[in-house]
Amino acid sequence: MELRAAHAAERDEVLDLLALWYGDRGFFARYNLNDPRFCDELCLVAREGGRLIATAQIFDRRIRLDGHAVAAGALGSVFTHPDYRGRGVGSALISLALATMEREGFEVSLLFSDRLNFYGRFGWRSVPRIISIVSPLPRGRLASSLALRRFERGRDLAQVSQIYDQYSGRFNTAVVREPSYWLGNLAFAGNPDEFFVVAANEKSPTARLGWGDAEVTQNLFSLISSKDAMFWTADRF
């Protein structure tokens, strides 16, 4: 079995493999195309008999920790072809990912998974994740000086980015979003037909409310949820 970083010529093979996950090849393709920090060296593959059988990707991010921007490797797109499971292929790729993150200078790693025992064997540990539910706002309760409108990149992005930095910058693990990250994120986040909403006064947006369809937007309802979060630190070496 061959374990290594992917070659650019293998991108389609990687996407074809990931499409077996839940049938949405385009979801993964949008990340590869629009993530400004995507590089083949951080996309890891396993091959056997000329066949690509597993993959894992390190997403290059900067996150806030105790007021500092820290290099973080977000592990994702970990997938092994069903015919090759139970043979240690995934474990071998995870070990390669750890060695790669250490070599590339990542200080921490984050991932989201419900396989806590599996990833715990490699040094990640689970951390609490708060799930917040925002109840619908009764009609007529929105301040008269505010209006809801659909987000427009040219008009709103600079001010939404500033709001994000002022608010989320106070929290540990919040992603540092430079302009190129914002532009990429607007292209690869979620589903192609989703949109963003802002609450604005006459001159500037005051909040980025979230994702959703027309019903979600109309009712001002946002549900934020995730699987268990796991955290890995460089001091494990």
DSSP the chain: -EEEEPPGGGHHHHHHHHHHHHS-HHHHHHHHHH-TT--GGGEEEEEETTEEEEEEEEEEEEEEETTEEEEEEEEEEEEE-GGGTTSSHHHHHHHHHHHHHHHHT--EEEEE-S-HHHHHTTT-EEE----EEEPPPPTT-S-TT-EEEE--HHHHHHHHHHHHHHHHTTSTTPBP--HHHHHHHHHHSS-TT-EEEEEE-SSSEEEEEEEE-HHHHHHT-EEE--S-EEEEEGGG-
Query: 197 and 95 in one domain?
Result: no
Q: What is the pLDDT of residue 228?
A: 38
Query: 52 and 29 in one domain?
Result: yes
Query: 120 and 44 in one domain?
Result: yes
Run means of pLDDT, 10 residues per run, the chain, 237 residues: 97 97 89 92 97 98 93 97 96 97 96 90 86 64 71 88 86 90 80 73 57 37 33 37
Number of domains comprising the chain: 2
Query: 96 and 77 in one domain?
Result: yes
Query: 95 and 44 in one domain?
Result: yes
Query: 197 and 84 in one domain?
Result: no
Q: What is the pLDDT of residue 139?
A: 60
Query: 118 and 159 in one domain?
Result: no
Domain around 148: 136-220
Query: 36 and 13 in one domain?
Result: yes
